[in-house]
Amino acid sequence: MICPRAATAKVYLLAGAAEGKDMPGTTMIEIRHKGTGEVIRQVEAASLAGQYLEGAKLAGANFAGMDLTGADFQRADLRDADFTGCMLDRATFSGALLKGAIFDGASLLKADFTDSFAQGTGFHGANLQGAVLRYAKFAEADFSHANMTAVDISMAELACDFTEANLTKADIRGSNLAGAVLDGAILLGANLTDAKLAGADMGSAKVEGALMGGGRKLGPQIFKKKEVRPWWQFWS
């Protein structure tokens, strides 16, 4: 029997009590496709928080607004999945396929995206404070207005939109930011040692105290703003 309140949700709770029997029901969560509504996977649990979904095939899944705290999505196929507004603190996405996934407005405190494949993902306004994104492929991703304080995005592919993102004390060592948009980004105290910044748009970026190669720290800088273009064209 489908609970009336859950019928319009993106994840459905099913009561598994057998009719006519005085026994507790089994709570099932149905993970559905965001476009077709098709059931992709059923999980026997009251919540997806802390669930083990390593290697799961969940492309296009709709998790919008769900509590997924500490969930394990290692090496899962999450292409085009919707995590808008989700609680994903300490969740693990290492090695996951995340191309086109949406994390707008999600809480991702200390989440792990190490070695993930996340081209074209959306993190607009997300809270990634303390998250680990080492060696990840984030080309064409949208991190605009995201809180990325103290994130580890070293050795990553970051030709992304960081417009007005907060990257204070971020570890960006060895990352490729060629062609990235950093207009209005806050990079105070960030470690940019060996980072590639060729062609990056640093207009209005705040970089005081950022660490460059040879231990050199930057003072206040004035960057010339590049031609204004729609953000999705920044990598062209």
Task: Name the one residue in this structure whose structure tokens are 């598994």.
Answer: 16
Span 165-182, average pLDDT? 96
Side by side, which strands form the sheet with 11-15? Answer: 11-15, 27-32, 39-44
Tell whether the model's pLDDT for residue 14 goes beyond 80: no
Q: What is the pLDDT of residues 206-226, one digit of tens each?
A: 988 888 766 666 655 544 555
Alpha-carbon gap, residue 46 to 27, rounded angstroms: 6
User: What is the pLDDT at residue 235?
Assistant: 40
Average pLDDT, the chain: 86
Range ranked top by mean pLDDT from 12-21, 186-195, 225-234 = 186-195
Residues 185-193 have a mean pLDDT of: 94
140: left (phi over 0), alpha (psi -120 to 50) or beta: left
Q: What is the pTM of this model?
A: 0.83
Cα–Cα dist 63/10, whole Å: 6
**Is the pLDDT at 12 greater than 90, yes or no?**
no
Mean pLDDT of 157-171: 97
Radius of gyration of the chain, Cα coordinates, nearest whole angstrom: 20
Place of tokens 């707008």: 104
Instruction: Give residue for tokens 């019928």.
Output: 7
C-alpha dihedral over 52, 54, 59, 62, to 10 degrees? 20
Once rounded to an integer, what is the mean pLDDT over residues 152-171? Answer: 97
- Cα separation of 176 and 209, whole Å? 20
Q: How far apart are CA 37 and CA 72, in angstroms?
A: 23
> What's the confidence (pLDDT) of residue 216?
64
Which pLDDT belongs to residue 122? Answer: 98
CA distance 145 to 142: 9
Distance of CA 25 to the CA centre of its chain: 35
